Amino acid sequence: MPLYVDLNSDSGESFGRWKLGNEEELFKYITSASIACGFHAGDPSVMRRTVRLAKERGVAVGAHPGLPDLMGFGRRFMEVSPQDLENYVIYQIGALHAIARAEGMELQHVKPHGAMYNAAWTRRDYAEAIVRAIKAFDPKLILVAPYGSEMHRAAEEMGIAVAFEAFADRNYRSDGRLVPRSHPEALVRSIDEAIERAIRMVSEGRVKTVDGKDIEIRVHTICIHGDSPNAVEMAKRLRARLEEAGIRVAPLREFVRRA
């Protein structure tokens, strides 16, 4: 049975007059777009243009809900009640669902953004709120979350599909979490090294940690940071190397089993 992996990128993170990311190029190489839904970035017209481009390029689309913090780009932790969080996620999924329907597309997945993703990595209440939101709207949607995270556990226990996301250009700790961005060794600086890490994560299910250990990691999708300056090069080269290594690069819906 062949190995599969998806390449996803945070997308549609422009807002009004402000541009961010280069979907025109990036969508040639990725297979799934996680599209901002207006809370941390994105506005209805940005969302529509992004969905339309994804359709043209054959890229699957999913919701990328964020915390209500446009000024902080959804990257700042906020202490939100689980009920509010659930409703924020339903609202944002619904908004993107409608935009996608207007372009004849269906949503494939939901991937929380920034501080929501990070908080729900380790906080069970946030993780469950996100899973409840998905179940309430459409239990066939795939949650994109890190392997071993509270989102992973909540999705499994509450009965929705989860796709594991890994970060080729970020260093991991031996507890399976990322080295924080504030740490000097947060990033894997060489594209070559990041690519080889990705290949190994997908094919062997293992990654070397920042403190010299070697841990298990399961991967369905690799995150391309759409707002980083070398995103297009990274996506292009990573995709080529994965395919060379006999790994099929395809959207999650083609190989992740739905609930």
The binding site for a copy of itself (CB under 8 A) comprises: 13-20, 38, 41, 43-45, 47-48, 68-73, 75-80, 83-84, 87-88, 90-99, 101-102, 115, 133, 136-137, 227
> Least distance in Å: CB of 23 to a copy of itself?
15
Given the complex with a copy of itself, which of 82 and 205 has the nearer CB atom? 82
Nearer to a copy of itself, 47 or 162 (CB): 47
Complex with a copy of itself: residue 84 or 211, whichever CB lies closer:
84
Distance CA 168, CA 172 (A): 10
CB of 49 to a copy of itself, least distance (A): 9
Decide if 69 contacts 40 (C-beta within 8 A): yes
User: Which is nearer to a copy of itself, 83 or 190 (by Cβ)?
Assistant: 83
Q: How far is the CB of 184 from a copy of itself (least distance, A)?
A: 18
Rank residues 78 and 191 by Cβ distance to a copy of itself and give the closer one.
78
Shortest Å, Cβ 215 to a copy of itself: 28
**In the complex, minimum distance from the CB of residue 10 to a copy of itself, in angstroms, rounded to a whole number:** 11
26/202 with CB nearer a copy of itself: 26
AA identity, residue 80: V
- Which letter, b or e, does each residue of 128-163 get, where b requires 16 or more Cβ atoms within 10 Å of its Cβ? bbbbbbbbebeeebbbbbbbbbbbbbbbeebebbbb
Helix (H, G, I), strand (E, B) or coil at 85: helix
Contact 148, 176 (CB under 8 A): yes
**Phi, psi at 39, each rounded to 5°:** -90, -45
DSSP 3-state of 195 = helix
**Unique residue bearing structure tokens 């990311």:** 21
Indicate the pairing of strand 214-216 with strand 206-208. Answer: antiparallel
In the complex, minimum distance from the CB of residue 71 to a copy of itself, in angstroms, rounded to a whole number: 5
Task: Report how far residue 131's alpha carbon sits from residue 170's, in angstroms, rounded to the nearest whole number.
Answer: 26
DSSP bridge pairs for 9: 33, 224
